[in-house]
Amino acid sequence: APDLSKGISVESFEPSQETHLARSFEIENKLAQAIEKNQFEMLYQPIVRLKDGQMSGFEALIRWPWKENEYISPMEFIPVAENSGLIKSLTRWIIRKTCTDFARIHDKLPESVYMSVNISSADLLDPRFTDDVLDVLRKNNLPAQNLKLEVTEHSVISDLKTAIEQMKILQQSGIRFAIDDFGTGHASLRYLQLLPAAYLKIDRSFIGGVTELERDAAITRATIALAHSLNKNVIAEGVEKWEQAEFLRAHQAEYAQGWFYAKPMPIEELANYRPPQFPEESD
Ligand code: C2E
Ligand code: MG
Ligand code: MG
Ligand code: MG
């Protein structure tokens, strides 16, 4: 019998997979053109420090209007870019675009506010990546301390040694790393210990139920404790409600991000963004 876990074999080829393949081809073709023609947009979502309610940084998120009046989700096209090798030139575009955007408003923000950019493991295995990033920072007069890179836990594994080497070089120049979507990939605790990442982002699938489901609350508390015992700070993703932010703050998570604070916005709006404040504590 065909082993379905290994993907598409001749025996297991079904119409649904054919449709899926056709869609992937369409995305791949359009991607190559879109990279050439600069057809992407970047939005930015605030990340808030729970201790004082201030914006500590913001995450860059890509948007692609791939057809007239139709955006396609990065959750769909980023994996296609990764599998086709187009991700390297896409990430190169993203780094340039986000850094020029950031440079435009850098003076209007507190000095410590950082930008967090999502990258793929393939980028860390690209020998030109490190120099490219440092070069773009220099050209835009941005301190490396103001850039953070987010790597998803399941994407780093293919060549762990090389990826870690590149991360360390970038880290020595001041760039910090965050492990994204923690809890959803295949990372072992060993892996978590090895990666030179100062931040851990708890996936939003756990945050959604944090005030209602004991199992989500338990995993979130345990992840915060684990991160702290490995000297990492925690960023909670997908905070949509005041009570979730309150739970996270009470359990010593450092940062939060989500629709409760703000949806992703154009760069110009970030300079005027003020997070909603918790009521003053009184005792
Ligand atoms: P991610 O890095 O985990 O980004 C967080 C996702 O959660 C974003 O989805 C964001 O819009 C969404 N989000 C934020 N707050 C909330 C909330 O309160 N509730 C809900 N339901 N969702 C919220 P988005 O922009 O669709 O991106 C999806 C994924 O695509 C990202 O997950 C990331 O893995 C990837 N991605 C996005 N932009 C880029 C990029 O520039 N480069 C790369 N390599 N990947 C990207
Ligand atoms: Mg991210
Ligand atoms: Mg994430
Ligand atoms: Mg996520």
The pLDDT score that the predictor gives to residue 159 is 83
pLDDT higher than 80, residue 240? yes
Among 237, 241, 255, name the best residue to mutate to test ligand 1's pocket (greatest count of ligand atoms within 8 A of Cβ): 237
207-235 pLDDT, tens digit each: 999 999 999 999 999 999 999 999 999 99
Q: What is the pLDDT of residue 253?
A: 98
Q: What is the pLDDT of residue 29?
A: 96
The atom of ligand 1 lying closest to the CA of 74 is 30
- Share the mean pLDDT of the chain: 91
Q: pTM above the 0.80 mark?
A: yes
Report yes or no: 115 and 148 within 8 Å, Cβ to Cβ: yes
Q: Is the pLDDT of residue 265 over 70?
A: yes
Give 76-85 pLDDT, tens digit per residue: 999 999 999 9
148 vs 121, residue with greater confidence: 148
CA 166 to ligand 2 centroid distance, Å: 19
Residues with CB under 6 A from ligand 1: 45, 60-62, 73-75, 78, 94, 118-120, 150, 152, 180-181, 204, 237-240, 258-259, 264
**Stretch 55-70: mean pLDDT:** 97
Pocket probe mutation, ligand 1, options 31, 61, 248, max atoms within 8 Å of Cβ: 61
Q: Which residues surround ligand 4, an ion (CB under 5 A)?
A: 181
Q: Percentage of residues in the chain with pLDDT exceeding 90?
A: 79
Higher pLDDT, 190 or 80: 80
Q: Ligand 1 center to residue 238 CA distance, Å?
A: 9
Give yes or no for residue 162 having a pLDDT over 70: yes
The share of the chain scoring above pLDDT 70, in percent, equals 90
Question: 98: closest CA among 84, 114, 85, 111?
Answer: 114
Express each pLDDT in 2-38 by its tens digit: 444 444 444 555 668 788 899 999 999 999 999 999 9
Average confidence (pLDDT) over 150-166: 82
How many CB atoms within 10 Å of residue 111? 9
Find the ligand nearest to 240 CA: 1
Predicted ipTM beyond 0.90: yes
More confident residue, 17 or 261: 261
Give residue 2's pLDDT. 44
Ligand 1: which atom is nearest the Cα of residue 87? 44
C-alpha of residue 214 to centroid of ligand 3, in Å: 22
